[in-house]
Amino acid sequence: MHSFEDHIEPVEQEDGTILDGLRYLFNGVFIASEHERYKHVYFFSLDVLTTICRKIATEDIVGVDMRGDKDGQMQITSVISSTDWNGP
């Protein structure tokens, strides 16, 4: 669920009069797992979300190692980024 913070900021009308304006600024999200939804909820601030997205977007993936689990589902066991790879 998204989260907003009330922010009061003056708003200038066309005729030049200033009114107090209430704005809602996005500041993060609340997340709960389906399994633990009645026990825990986690809040991720906008700063944390931005940092995570930037790290994901700038990562240069060179390779991914995947293995089948006991149920035959493929699972990622390791990710090799350009900073980890020494190349041939």
Backbone angles phi, psi at 68, to 5 degrees: -80, 140
Q: What secondary structure letter does DSSP report for 16?
A: S
Give the global pTM: 0.48
Per-residue pLDDT tens for 42-54? 888 888 888 878 8
Per-residue pLDDT tens for 4-60? 888 777 777 788 877 777 778 888 999 888 887 788 888 888 888 888 788 777 777
Residue 87 pLDDT level (bands cut at 50, 70, 90): low
